[in-house]
C-alpha cells in the first residue's frame, strides 16, 4: 500500500519523475506514457497530496498537459484526464478557485462536441465542481456559455447554474445577482425546451432568494417569457430547506388497513420521538374498532352483480391474489355465456343475468384488464316468407332429360362440353341413330 503524502518534500519527490513526461507532446509513441503519468497523478491526489500547500502550484505547472489530454481525440487519454479533475475538485473544495480559469473553459468546450462519451464526462466533471467546490466565481463562465450555438453546451451550463443556486446562499451570490438575472433572461427565450425548463427552475430559485427583485426582473422580460414564467412559484435553496426541516421536525405515523380485517397496523416510533396529541385530535384520528365493523350490515358490501357469479371487485390496495381470482371468475363466466350462445341454450329467463354479466365485464372500475363486450342472444323473430312457386311439369321434364342447364353449370345456354363430347362418341351414335338431336353436330 502506498504511503500518504503529508509533506512538501514527499510531494516534490513524487512529482519529480512525472515532470519530464508531462512536457512531451502527444504523438502515437508518447500518448501511452502520458496516460500512465496522469493515472499516477490521480493516485497521488487520492493519497492526500491535496493537503499540501504546494500541490496547486505543481498542478498549475503541468496544467497545459492536462488540458491537451482532456481535449484529445483519444478516448482513453481524455478519460484519464477527466478522472484527474474529478479526483482533485472534491478534495480541494474552495481552493479549486485557483484552478477554475484553467480547467473550466476546456470542460465547457467538450460539452459543445457531438461525441456523447466526451460530453457525459465533461458534464459529470462540471457537476462535481459545482456540488463540492461551490464557487460563485464560475457563474460568469456559465453565463457566457449560454450564448453558444450548441444546445448541449447551453443545457449543461444552465444545469450548472441551477446547482449553484441550490448550493449557495444569498450572501455568497450577492455579487453575482446581475449575472443570474441576465442568464434567466436568456434561458426564458431559449429555443431548446430543456434549456427553458432549467430557466424556470432558476427563476423559481431566484424568486426564493430575492423576492424583492422579482417584479423588476419580470418587467424586463419579453411578452412570451412573461407568459412562460408567470405561473412559477418561488422555491428555496437546499441549504434553507435543510435548516427549516431541522427546526420543524415531525414524526409521521404510518397506518395501514388490511383488506380482510378492520384492525389498524401501525409502527410506533421510539418514545423519545413520539408526538403527544390532544385528546380531541386523538379521538378523531383513531380507527373504529373491529366490533363496529362486525355490526355493519352485510348489504353495504353486497355486489350488485351477485347473480352473475362474478365476485365483488377487490378494493384498492388488496393482495394480487384477489385480483387474479376476480379476473379468472370474469373469464369463466364469459366463456359460459359464449358457450350457451353457440349451442343456443340461452333461455329468455337468463337474458337479464347475461346483460348484468356483460355490464360487469365492462365496468370502468375493473383495473385488472378489460374484457370484450359479450353479445347477448335475442329471441328469434317470426318473419313470414312468401311461398315459392312450384315448378311446372314441362320444366321438370326438361330438367330430368338434361336439356336445361342448372346454376351449377358454368355455361347457362348450352350443355357442358363433357356431355357434348360424350354424345359424339361412336357408341352414342350407334345407340341413338340418326334421330338423336346431337347426331347432326359434326366437327
pLDDT in tens, 274-298: 444 444 444 444 444 444 444 444 4
Q: Is the pLDDT confidence value at 258 over 60?
A: no
Q: Which three cell numbers stand for residue 125?
A: 466533471
Q: Is the pLDDT confidence value at 154 over 80?
A: yes
CATH number (3.30.2010.10, 1.10.3720.10, 1.25.10.10, 3.40.50.1370) of 134-236 reads: 1.25.10.10
Residues 28-51: tens digit of each pLDDT: 999 999 999 999 999 999 999 999
Q: Is the pLDDT confidence value at 94 over 80?
A: yes
Residue 292 has a pLDDT of 43
Q: Is the pLDDT confidence value at 84 over 90?
A: yes
- The H-or-E segment that residue 256 falls in is strand 255-257
How many CA within 13 A on the CB side of residue 80?
22
Measured CA to CA, the distance from residue 441 to residue 364 in angstroms comes to 77
Q: Is the pLDDT confidence value at 132 over 80?
A: yes
Helices (H), 192-286: 193-209, 214-220, 223-229, 238-247, 279-285
Measured CA to CA, the distance from residue 130 to residue 148 in angstroms comes to 20
* Residue with cell string 453565463: 143
Give the pLDDT band (50/70/90) at residue 340. Answer: confident
Residue 294 has a pLDDT of 43
| Phi-psi group of 369: left, alpha or beta (phi > 0 → left; psi -120 to 50 → alpha; rest → beta) | left
> Which one is predicted more confidently, 302 or 194?
194
Measured CA to CA, the distance from residue 31 to residue 127 in angstroms comes to 28
If DSSP codes are grouped into helix, strand and coil, which group holds residue 266?
strand
Contact yes or no for 187/159 (Cβ under 8 A): no
Least confident of 90-94, 147-151, 374-378, 398-402: 374-378
Residue 374 has a pLDDT of 46
Which residues 6+ apart lie within 8 Å of 334 measured at CB? 357, 361, 371, 374
The torsion angles phi and psi of 257, rounded to 5 degrees, stand at -110, 130
> CB atoms < 10 A from the CB of 438, how many?
14
DSSP assigned state of 367: -
* Residue with cell string 421510539: 270
Residue 437 has a pLDDT of 53
Contact yes or no for 269/251 (Cβ under 8 A): yes
* Of 57, 2, 1, 68, residue with least CA distance to 35: 68
- The H-or-E segment that residue 58 falls in is helix 55-70
> Residue 44's Cα: distance from chain center in Å?
42
Residue 334 has a pLDDT of 83
Residue 6 has a pLDDT of 85
Q: Is the pLDDT confidence value at 264 over 90?
A: no
Partners of 265 in the β-ladder: 256
Measured CA to CA, the distance from residue 77 to residue 79 in angstroms comes to 5
Give the pLDDT band (50/70/90) at residue 324. Answer: confident
Residues 363-419: tens digit of each pLDDT: 444 444 444 444 445 555 555 555 555 555 555 565 555 555 555 554 455 555 555
* Of 47, 64, 69, 132, residue with least CA distance to 96: 132
Q: In percent, how much of the chain has pLDDT > 90?
A: 48
The stretch 121-139 carries a mean pLDDT of: 95
- Ordered by start, the domain boundaries in the chain are 1-108, 134-236
Residue 276 has a pLDDT of 46
Q: Which three cell numbers stand for residue 320?
A: 394480487
Q: Which three cell numbers stand for residue 339?
A: 358457450
Cα–Cα distances (Å) from 284 to 277, 365, 440, in that order, read 11, 30, 113
Residues shown for the chain: 443
> Which one is predicted more confidently, 377 or 207?
207
> Which one is predicted more confidently, 323 or 262?
323
Burial class (CB in 10 A: 0-12, 13-18, 19+), 212: exposed
Amino acid at each position: 500500500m502506498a504511503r500518504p503524502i503529508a509533506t512538501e518534500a514527499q510531494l516534490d519527490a513524487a512529482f519529480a519523475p512525472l515532470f519530464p513526461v508531462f512536457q512531451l507532446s502527444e504523438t502515437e509513441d508518447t500518448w501511452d506514457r502520458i496516460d500512465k503519468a496522469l493515472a499516477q497523478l490521480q493516485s497521488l491526489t487520492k493519497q492526500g497530496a491535496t493537503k499540501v500547500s504546494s500541490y496547486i502550484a505543481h498542478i498549475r505547472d503541468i496544467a497545459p498537459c492536462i488540458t491537451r489530454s482532456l481535449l484529445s481525440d483519444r478516448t482513453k487519454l481524455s478519460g484519464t484526464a477527466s478522472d484527474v479533475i474529478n479526483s482533485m475538485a472534491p478534495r480541494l473544495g474552495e481552493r479549486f478557485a485557483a484552478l477554475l480559469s484553467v480547467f473550466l473553459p476546456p470542460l465547457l468546450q467538450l460539452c459543445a462536441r457531438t461525441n456523447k462519451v466526451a460530453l457525459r464526462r465533461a458534464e459529470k466533471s462540471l457537476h462535481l465542481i459545482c456540488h463540492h467546490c461551490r464557487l460563485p466565481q464560475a457563474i460568469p463562465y456559465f453565463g457566457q456559455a449560454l450564448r453558444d450555438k450548441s444546445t448541449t453546451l447551453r443545457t449543461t451550463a444552465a444545469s450548472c447554474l441551477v446547482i449553484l443556486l441550490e448550493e449557495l446562499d444569498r450572501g455568497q451570490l450577492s455579487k453575482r445577482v446581475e449575472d443570474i438575472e441576465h442568464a434567466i433572461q436568456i434561458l426564458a427565450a431559449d429555443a431548446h425546451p430543456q434549456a427553458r425548463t432549467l430557466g424556470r427552475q432558476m427563476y423559481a430559485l431566484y424568486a426564493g432568494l430575492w423576492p424583492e427583485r422579482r417584479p423588476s426582473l419580470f418587467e424586463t422580460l419579453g411578452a412570451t417569457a412573461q407568459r412562460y414564467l408567470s405561473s412559477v412559484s418561488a422555491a428555496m435553496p437546499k441549504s434553507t430547506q435543510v435548516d427549516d426541516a431541522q427546526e420543524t421536525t415531525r414524526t409521521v405515523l404510518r397506518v395501514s388497513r388490511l383488506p380482510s380485517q378492520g384492525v389498524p397496523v401501525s409502527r410506533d416510533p421510539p418514545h423519545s420521538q413520539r408526538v403527544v396529541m390532544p385528546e380531541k385530535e386523538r379521538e378523531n384520528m383513531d380507527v373504529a374498532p373491529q366490533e363496529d365493523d362486525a355490526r355493519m350490515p352485510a348489504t353495504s358490501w353486497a355486489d350488485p352483480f351477485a347473480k352473475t357469479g362474478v365476485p365483488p371487485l377487490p378494493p384498492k390496495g388488496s393482495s394480487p391474489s384477489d385480483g387474479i381470482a376476480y379476473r379468472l371468475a370474469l373469464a369463466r363466466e364469459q366463456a359460459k355465456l359464449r358457450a350457451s350462445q353457440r349451442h343456443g341454450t340461452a333461455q329468455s329467463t337468463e337474458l337479464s343475468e347475461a346483460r348484468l354479466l356483460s355490464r360487469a365485464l365492462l365496468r370502468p372500475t375493473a383495473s385488472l384488464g378489460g374484457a370484450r363486450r359479450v353479445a347477448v342472444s335475442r329471441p328469434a323473430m317470426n318473419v313470414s316468407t312468401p311461398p315459392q312457386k312450384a315448378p311446372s311439369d314441362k320444366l321438370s321434364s326438361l330438367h330430368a332429360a338434361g336439356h336445361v342447364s342448372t346454376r351449377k353449370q358454368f355455361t347457362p345456354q348450352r350443355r357442358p362440353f363433357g356431355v357434348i363430347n360424350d354424345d359424339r362418341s361412336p357408341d352414342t351414335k350407334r345407340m341413338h341413330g340418326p334421330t338423336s338431336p346431337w347426331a347432326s353436330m359434326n366437327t
